[in-house]
Amino acid sequence: MRRGKFRAMLECRCPQCRIGRVFTGSAYSFHKQRTNEVCAYCGLQFEIEPGYFYAAMYVSYAMSVAEVVGGGALIYFLTRSESPTLYAIALFVIIIASSPINYRYSRLILLYYLTPRLKYDSKYQDLYEQRHQD
């Protein structure tokens, strides 16, 4: 079963083989979120150089700003309220609830779209399909 780029990213799969998992566990668990060091299937090292994922903070910040602006606009259109307390509480909840998703997808956006030297290699999916035909 071939995974497209978007589907592989949504499933948090390796950008090179689209089979191995980038993260351990689920986004909303009580265990610490962790990015695997290497892909278990193709051996790609996810942190290409020391401090590579610091750039994901900027992507995460942009995602958070979009969520706050969108959430604030949605709250306004639903309630027409001008209460700063309502906005502060609601936007705080939105930021806290979306932080595990921002953590994961900011790193995936960095790997999939902002790192030009990482390329998809179909040979890994061909090998995977051959092994799992039965």
* Angle at alpha carbon of residue 6, lines to 59 and 14, rounded to 5°: 75
Q: What is the dihedral of CA 8, 40, 35, 59, to 10 degrees?
A: -40
Give the Cα separation of 45 and 104 in Å (integer): 16
pTM of the predicted structure, to 2 decimals: 0.87
pLDDT of residue 109: 95
pLDDT of residue 134: 57
CB 16 within 8 Å of CB 26:
no
Mean pLDDT by 10 residues, the chain (134 residues): 87 94 88 89 92 94 97 95 95 95 95 90 84 73
34 sits in which H/E element: strand 34-35
